[in-house]
Amino acid sequence: MERAFETVLVVGGGLIGSSIARACKAYNVVGKLIITDTNPDVRASLSALDIADEVASSAHGVAAQADLVILAVPPGAMATALSGFADVLTPSCLITDVGSIKASIIKDITPLLPKNVEFIGAHPIAGTENSGPEAGFASLFDKRWCILTPEDETSTSAQKLKEFWEALGSQVAFMDAKRHDLVLATTSHLPHLIAYALVGTATDMETVTRNEVVKYSAGGFRDFTRIAASDPVMWRDVFLGNSEAVLEVLGRYIEDLTALKKSIRWGEGDVLLKEFTKTRTIRERIIDAGQDSAAPNFGRDHLEGEDES
């Protein structure tokens, strides 16, 4: 069987990293899958789960074997992670990542690349609010988009990486890194920021007790708490690394929210109805596109959750 990559090293054994390992093994995508993590407890869990051919104590000792290295750590840790083994990489090796921001990661990683070693950014738009190696599952990427940001999408390395992600079940799209960051600021980053803010507001209100917030949570608020339960370290890195795009979209959102506030204050029911009807169609289009866990015939397993990479 001809594969896009024979030996893959996954650096980071959390939700995304462990799911990549599971998918590679379940679908026979690579010849050898190595995974590593700086946390010894995570490495112990990875060994017990038996989802990789080798669980390495450090990337430096095994990176020379790999023809694909996947950085599956928080965005702020990617440059540090790569610097720990960049000196042993072979010229034929391709470096990629799974971060939900692209421009700042490319900026941080490019100066660290050895001669003739290429980096192509990748973002699998998949995940749950859970984290850690036990949270992963092989079908996480089924029918989910994975965005690649190569300089040349027709290059051999870009096409090989596309083939790899398609073998994991993803739909692959190519996109400019800055365009990716603006799109994801709109569809993922801002919703997470709103969720963190709303849950914080609800739990800090002096006139409503935290017990009441928990006891009487309606479905909409429960969805916000699920999103706000996402990995705080990763999301700190996302907002700092994609601040320009997030602030641009946040400014637009505040303007729209202010307009809705005005309509509520002045009893403009027709304006509210028009706006709510317009936004409802977006939900219908997401379901029709199969990008919702409630959609029928969704994949090998049922998926839940928001983007967590």
In a domain, 306, yes or no: no
Question: How far is it, in rounded angstroms, from Cα 259 to Cα 253?
Answer: 10
pLDDT at 138 over 80: yes
Do 82 and 117 share a domain, yes or no? yes
Do 100 and 189 share a domain, yes or no? no
Domain coverage including residue 27: 7-175
Report DSSP state, residue 188: I
Any residues with CB less than 8 A from the CB of 234 and at least 6 apart, and which? 74, 75, 308
Question: Which of 156, 161, 81, 137 minimizes the C-alpha distance to 308?
Answer: 137
Do 200 and 115 share a domain, yes or no? no
Final residue of a domain: which of 155, 175, 195? 175
Beta strands in the chain (DSSP E): 7-11, 32-36, 54-56, 68-71, 94-97, 118-124, 145-149, 171-174
For residue 96, report the phi and psi dihedrals to the nearest 5 degrees: -145, 180
Do 260 and 115 share a domain, yes or no? no
In a domain, 56, yes or no: yes
Least confident among 19-23, 218-222, 242-246, 258-262: 218-222
In a domain, 39, yes or no: yes
pLDDT digits (tens, 9 = 90+) for 8-51: 999 999 999 999 999 999 999 999 999 999 999 999 999 999 99
Do 166 and 34 share a domain, yes or no? yes
In a domain, 96, yes or no: yes
DSSP 261-303: HHHHHTT-HHHHHHHHHHHHHHHHHHHHTT-STTSSS--SS--
In a domain, 81, yes or no: yes
Contact 146, 121 (CB under 8 A): no
pLDDT digits (tens, 9 = 90+) for 40-85: 999 999 999 999 999 999 999 999 999 999 999 999 999 999 999 9
Least confident among 81-85, 129-133, 134-138: 129-133
pLDDT digits (tens, 9 = 90+) for 251-295: 999 999 999 999 999 999 999 999 998 888 888 887 777 766 543
Q: For residues 96-108, b (16+ Cβ closer than 10 Å) or e, as one string?
A: bbbbbbbbbbbeb
In a domain, 71, yes or no: yes
Label residue 289 left, alpha or beta by phi (over 0 means left) and psi (-120 to 50 means alpha): alpha
Tell me the Cα Rg of the chain: 21
Confidence grade of residue 142 (pLDDT, cut at 50, 70, 90): very high
Report DSSP state, residue 73: S
Question: How far is it, in rounded angstroms, from Cα 121 to Cα 101?
Answer: 9
Least confident among 183-192, 216-225, 231-240: 216-225
Would the CA dihedral through 132, 133, 137, 142 be positive or negative?
Answer: positive
pLDDT at 194 over 80: yes
Label residue 249 left, alpha or beta by phi (over 0 means left) and psi (-120 to 50 means alpha): alpha
pLDDT at 250 over 70: yes
Torsion of CA 52, 139, 103, 132, to 10 degrees: -60
In a domain, 307, yes or no: no
Q: Please identify which residue in the block is written with the tokens 């896009």.
A: 4
Question: How far is it, in rounded angstroms, from Cα 45 to Cα 15?
Answer: 12
Do 246 and 133 share a domain, yes or no? no
The mean of the pLDDT values for the chain is 89
Question: Could you tell me the CATH number of the domain that includes residue 235?
Answer: 1.10.3660.10
Cα dist from 267 to 254, 257, 270, 275, whole Å:
20, 15, 9, 14
pLDDT digits (tens, 9 = 90+) for 207-217: 777 778 888 88
Question: Could you tell me the CATH number of the domain that includes residue 65?
Answer: 3.40.50.720
Q: Report, as an integer, the average pLDDT of 106-129.
A: 93
Do 21 and 155 share a domain, yes or no? yes
Please list the residues that pair with 34 across neighbouring strands.
9, 54
Question: How many domains does the structure of the chain reveal?
Answer: 2
- Tokens representing residue 26 in the block: 């379940």
pLDDT at 296 over 70: no
